Amino acid sequence: GPGNADDRALELLFAEAEKKGMKVNFHIEPYPGRSAESVKENLGYLIDKFKGSPALYRDADRDHLPMFYVYDSYLIPTEEWGSILRPDSPNTIRGTERDAVMIALYVNQKDKRLLTEGGFDGVYTYFATKGFTEGSTPENWKEVRDWTRSLGKLFIPSVGPGYDDLPIRPWNKKNYREREGGDYYSTMFESAIEARPDFISVTSFNEWHEGTQVEPAIPAKYGERQYKDYLPLKPDGYLDLTRKWVKEFETHQAGKE
């Protein structure tokens, strides 16, 4: 919210992104009292605050609107989302200063209603664990892509370098995924590119407690916890892999045009 730690961090992030020529969009996670109406207020605040920044990502193919990912979007009833996202709703954001490209989390087929009835503009899959959900299973991505494209909507598969949240969730061994020296990340990126999506998202840059970070890392220990390094890769090995696969994706995208 306005003035809190996240708000202040965003100011710093945008300032640095402007210096580096990078773009920023938003990931809205659950918070106490989150509703479609409160998200509408969030959109208004964030768009108004950063609309003048060249670092605000705007989708050139969709009226240069900013983009918002909504994590756990299924927690809010589809009808509520429709009240702000459907263009025929009297309370809609469409065509107003709060309009945006809105991306819902796709967990399974139940979430299709978020697009067909809720008014979302696309879906993303978020989870770095292959097979954790229907959406995070690469074998399903082409089918989901075909479905979203038939609606004129976006499909954004999410890729990750592995998954290890055992230090905070020791019971969750089922969803542990070894990094395999970068092979897990590369294989997931390959599957995403083969699905011919509109975008690819990476989970995550620095979510260390779930073991999905790709930011530079060296061997380190904090208390009794030994943080995993990237050996045999270099400390910035996952940034190198990200760069490689982004270029590969861009080549495929150019070939589609």
* Nearest partner of 201 among 214, 191, 192, judged by Cα: 192
The per-residue pLDDT for 257 is 57
Quote the tokens at residue 80: 């509520």
Q: What tens digit of pLDDT does each residue of 194-248 get?
A: 999 999 999 999 999 999 999 999 888 888 777 778 988 999 999 999 999 999 9
Q: What tens digit of pLDDT does each residue of 124-160 get?
A: 999 999 999 999 999 999 999 999 999 999 999 999 9
Q: How far is CA 50 from the centre of its chain?
A: 19
Helix (H, G, I), strand (E, B) or coil at 189: helix
DSSP string, 2-36: TTSHHHHHHHHHHHHHHHHT--B-EEE---TT--H
- Site of tokens 């990912």: 69
Q: Where are the domains positioned within the chain?
A: 5-216
Other beta carbons within 10 angstroms of residue 70's beta carbon come to 25
pTM of the entire structure? 0.95
Assigned architecture for domain 5-216: Alpha-Beta Barrel (3.20)
In angstroms, rounded to a whole number, what is the distance separating the alpha carbons of residues 10 and 225?
A: 30
Phi/psi-derived region of residue 200, left when phi > 0, alpha when psi is between -120 and 50, beta in every other case: beta
Is the bond leading into 158 cis (omega within 30 degrees of zero)? no
Run of H or E residues at 237? helix 237-256
Helix (H, G, I), strand (E, B) or coil at 165: coil
Q: What tens digit of pLDDT does each residue of 8-56 get?
A: 999 999 999 999 999 999 999 999 999 999 999 999 999 999 999 999 9
Quote the tokens at residue 247: 């270029």
